[in-house]
Amino acid sequence: MSEVVLSVAGLEKSYDDVIAVDGLDFEIEKGECFGLLGPNGAGKSTTLAMLEGMEEPTAGSVRYYGAPLPSDYQTRVGIQFQATALQDFLTPFDNLKLFSSFYDDPIPMDQLIEQFRLKDFLHRDSRRLSGGQRQRLLLALALVHNPEIVFLDEPTTGLDPRSRRDLWDVVSDLKADGRTLILTTHYMEEAEVLCDELVILSHGKTLLQGTPEQLITDAGVSDLDTLFLSLTGETLVKTQEVIE
Amino acid sequence: MSAIGRSFRRMKAVFIARNLEYLRDRASFGWNLVFPVLIVFALAVVFSGPPRALFTITTISSDDLPELVEFPGVEAIETDRPKALDRLSRQQTDLVVEVVDGSVNYWVNGNSASGAILELLLTYTETRPLKRGETDGDAIRYVDWVVPGILGMNMMYSALWGVGYVVVRYRQSGYLRRLKATPLTKFEFLSAQVLSRLLVTLTASTIVFVGTNLILDYKMVGSIWLLFLIALMGGLAMITLGLAIACRTESKEFADGLLNAVTFPMLLLSGVWFSLDGSPEWVQMFAQVLPLTHVLEAARAVMLDNAGFADITIHLAVLVGFCIVGMALSIKLFKW
């Protein structure tokens, strides 16, 4: 059995009188791609923020190898935020150099440039990158210190089909490296392709948990969207619909 | 590498990145240099010639003033004796008058024709005993007086907006949240912002100062190094004030309002465009809590009166106080 990297117990997060996350329990094993699936407002990003150590839970806990999050947790995780601006007028090269300077033993820049195929736009103002180029840069910045766990918050939202496929390839390569990936998405096809384990959230609560195949088989439905519809009356976004 | 070495490396990286961002933003960079130069030249043209067309009398006391003070065409300003005599030596006023125990003390500038005329009028119109004093000193042009104000104003805008507004923009765009997910500390980030903007502010001020002086040849009788120290401390004081404003603000619009609320009183009451001598006492007291007032009073003392370090110590001390309080508040309250 694989080692548990992160374990979540009774996790809750409230903002004033709004409950964003309402009592989650799950474990994430080393080397797996763990997906948090759900529509907008389901609590995916808030849950991810607590797993990243960026937000404090209102109640419950996130444990790293069974212990509280260590003080150097930020050096062990890489985060690709859903919406991140970079400094104006800086190029991908400048940004890689900047973020590399934050760590003691960063991955050589040449290696990152090649791995994330940044060469063609390395010296372009970051504000003029396409969606796919920008996401590849953000992913490279998240990986600059060779982290053990990588968080990806809706990494393909707003991308065209080709850029989406490109990013899937990059994420698959990261999986093949043996990294633990934690991914939020509301695209079921993405979850089916990339994730080993899924938690389906709605209104901050776990609706179902399991492998994509297991969830579909157990429910006797054709796909995750149909499953979600049958559970909540709401529909997830089908990737193909978005593409079309 | 030691912890301090790592901290310095991260701070340097953010410092360089911020400088690159600023230098590549050619519109902002150019405007910071061009705007004050345009103002200096505009004022030099508009206010060319003698500083005042009317006779000006500065009074030290307000009771039983000579009849001359009420004459048509005479403008009267009240202030204390040291300031009044400073004004007289710069020919910003033509006569200084003080009434003490039923006699009238007056001072004229030996180099001022207007002063000689007013002295003659005073002796003809005043029945009380007169006691004469004299100073000397050449007249200063308005441009000599206003240049420190414009440089200070430019520094104020550059420091407050260049840090305050930018940090809020970083926060609103999520860039600060991205930085929070790295080992970069608040202190390192804030220090890099301060140093980067200080470099920009001092460089821009130096270029404008040297460039405009080559053409307008305005008065600069004091130590250039002391003036640089004032610019350094003034820049730091206003940058840390900008950081304190931005440390928790999340909306650019709100930051804009707060920055305007801070800069507008300084623009009006710190003596950028005109002297506050003769304004109500409470206005002058209020002006003393504004950092720009201390920058400008110290800079004018050095540039126009050859003041030494000891003469401007109080202004420098106030600016150091602003720096310490501003930085402490920023580090304490800063939110990524």
Residue A90 lies in a domain: no
pLDDT tens by residue, A24-36: 999 999 999 999 9
Chain B residues in contact with A79 (beta carbon < 8 A): 178, 181
Interface test with B, best of A82, A88, A109 (most B CBs within 10 A): A88
| pLDDT score recorded for residue A10 | 94
Distance CA(A78)–CA(A150), nearest Å, equals 5
**Residues 125-154 (A) with a CB less than 8 A from some CB of B:** 125, 141
| pLDDT score recorded for residue A242 | 44
Q: Which residue of B has its CA nearest to A53?
A: B181
Higher pLDDT, B240 or B33: B240
Of the candidates B170, B173, B183, which has its C-beta nearest A103's C-beta? B183
Look at phi and psi of residue A30 and say left if phi exceeds 0, alpha if psi is from -120 to 50, else beta: beta
End-to-end CA distance of chain B: 26
pLDDT greater than 80 at residue A230: no
Residue A114 lies in a domain: no
Residues, chain B, total? 336
**DSSP, res B165:** I
Q: Would you call A56 an interface residue with chain B, using a CB distance cutoff of 8 Å?
A: no
Q: Would you call A86 an interface residue with chain B, using a CB distance cutoff of 8 Å?
A: yes
User: Cα B165 from chain centroid?
Assistant: 21
Query: Pick from B138, B301, B181, B3: which is nearest to A138 by CA?
Result: B181
Chain A residues in contact with B13 (beta carbon < 8 A): 97-98, 101-102
Residue A53 φ then ψ, to 5°: 85, 10
Distance CA(B58)–CA(B56), nearest Å, equals 7
Range in A229-243, B82-96, B321-335 with the lowest mean pLDDT: A229-243
Residue-number span of the structural domain to which A187 is assigned: 4-77+150-243
pLDDT tens by residue, A183-193: 988 788 888 88
Please count the structural domains in chain A. Answer: 1
> Is residue B201 within 8 Å of residue B162, measured between CB atoms?
yes
Helices (H), B64-139: 81-89, 113-125
**Residues 152-181 (B) with a CB less than 8 A from some CB of A:** 170, 173-175, 177-178, 180-181
Query: Pick from A179, A152, A157, A197: which is nearest to A45 by CA?
Result: A152
Distance CA(B266)–CA(B104), nearest Å, equals 37
Chain A residues in contact with B181 (beta carbon < 8 A): 52, 54, 74, 77, 79, 81
- Amino acid in position B43: L
Q: Considering chain B, what is the average pLDDT of its residues?
A: 87
Residue A49 lies in a domain: yes
B262, HSE (Cβ side, Cα atoms, 13 Å): 25
| pLDDT score recorded for residue B45 | 67
pLDDT greater than 60 at residue B246: yes
Range in A45-49, A107-111, A227-231, B212-216 with the lowest mean pLDDT: A227-231
Inter-chain contact A89–B21, Cβ cutoff 8 Å?
Answer: yes
Q: Please report, for the domain that includes residue A37, its CATH number.
A: 3.40.50.300
Sheet holding B74-78, edge to edge: B74-78, B55-59, B95-100, B103-109, B130-135
Q: Would you call B27 an interface residue with chain A, using a CB distance cutoff of 8 Å?
A: no
To the nearest whole angstrom, how far is the Cα of A120 from the nearest Cα of chain B?
21
Residue A55 lies in a domain: yes
Q: Which residues pair with A21 in a beta bridge?
A: A13
Three-state DSSP class for residue A207: strand
Q: Considering chain A, what is the average pLDDT of its residues?
A: 86
Chain B residues in contact with A74 (beta carbon < 8 A): 181-183
To the nearest whole angstrom, how far is the Cα of A121 from the nearest Cα of chain B?
17
Question: B115: which residues sit within 8 A by CB, 6+ positions away?
Answer: B88, B94, B95, B108, B109
Q: Which residue of A has its CA nearest to B22?
A: A89
Residue A94 lies in a domain: no
Residue A159 lies in a domain: yes
Residue A112 lies in a domain: no
To the nearest whole angstrom, how far is the Cα of B254 from the nearest Cα of chain A?
20
pLDDT greater than 90 at residue A157: no
How much is the average pLDDT of A226-239? 65
> Is residue A86 within 8 Å of residue A126, measured between CB atoms?
yes
In this prediction, residue B281 has a pLDDT band, given cuts at 50, 70 and 90, of confident
Chain A residues in contact with B24 (beta carbon < 8 A): 89, 125
In this prediction, residue A243 has a pLDDT band, given cuts at 50, 70 and 90, of very low
What interface predicted TM-score (ipTM) does this complex get?
A: 0.81
Inter-chain contact A102–B10, Cβ cutoff 8 Å?
Answer: yes
Inter-chain contact A84–B178, Cβ cutoff 8 Å?
Answer: yes
- DSSP string for B183-246: S--HHHHHHHHHHHHHHHHHHHHHHHHHHHHHHH-----S-HHHHHHHHHHHHHHHHHHHHHHH
pLDDT tens by residue, A90-142: 999 999 999 999 998 899 999 999 988 899 999 999 888 888 888 889 989 99
Interface test with A, best of B9, B11, B12, B20 (most A CBs within 10 A): B20
Inter-chain contact A74–B182, Cβ cutoff 8 Å?
Answer: yes
> Is residue B253 within 8 Å of residue B81, measured between CB atoms?
no
- DSSP string for A26-49: EEEETT-EEEEE-STTSSHHHHHH
Query: Pick from A206, A209, A182: which is nearest to A194 by CA?
Result: A182
Share of residues in chain B with pLDDT > 90 (%): 35
